[in-house]
């Protein structure tokens, strides 16, 4: 992990897993389920909140599986999805920078004027089904987004 290599101490300080009704946007991304399993967590770096994320999964996939447990096991939810027959094919990501909402300022303990990076990633299986949407908000002053893209 990059944080370990830099001498920082990463940790997850909160995790909540529950069934709920998705927003219209999340529902549309997942093929319109009425209920989803939501996995909420907040990440800290050296005791500083830097990110919070919610993974949304269709209940027909996640209910009654290790995905619905706080610790889904080695490899996390993606390994469990694959074990359930949902071989991952690709991820679609949308990234935007914006000013935080008041709740985001509180959750991430942001200083005045610090923007956030909002990342929404949708995981698709080889059958073309969206099997997870991860909605992540990051403190922009804590991250560098670096990518390598093929030229062809």
Instruction: Please write the tens of the pLDDT for every residue from 60-91.
Output: 999 999 999 999 999 999 999 999 999 999 99
Number of residues in the chain: 152
> Hey, what are 87's tokens?
């071989």
Domain-by-domain residue ranges, the chain?
Answer: 2-142
Class of CATH domain 2-142: alpha beta
Give the pLDDT confidence of 93-140 residue by residue, as tens digits. 999 999 999 999 999 999 999 999 999 999 999 999 999 999 999 999
């Amino acid at each position: 992990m990059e944080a370990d290599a830099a001498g920082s101490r990463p940790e997850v300080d909160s995790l909540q897993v529950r069934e709920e009704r998705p927003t219209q946007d999340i529902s549309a991304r997942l093929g319109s389920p009425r209920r989803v399993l939501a996995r909420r967590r907040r990440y800290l770096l050296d005791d500083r909140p830097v990110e919070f994320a919610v993974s949304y999964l269709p209940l027909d996939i996640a209910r009654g599986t290790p995905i619905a447990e706080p610790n889904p096991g080695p490899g996390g939810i993606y390994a469990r999805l694959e074990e359930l027959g949902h071989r991952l094919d690709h991820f679609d990501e949308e990234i935007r920078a914006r000013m935080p909402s008041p709740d985001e300022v509180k959750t991430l303990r942001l200083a005045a004027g610090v923007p956030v990076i909002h990342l929404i990633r949708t995981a698709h299986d080889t059958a073309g089904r969206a099997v997870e949407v991860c909605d992540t908000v990051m403190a922009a002053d804590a991250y560098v987004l670096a990518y390598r893209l093929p030229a062809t």
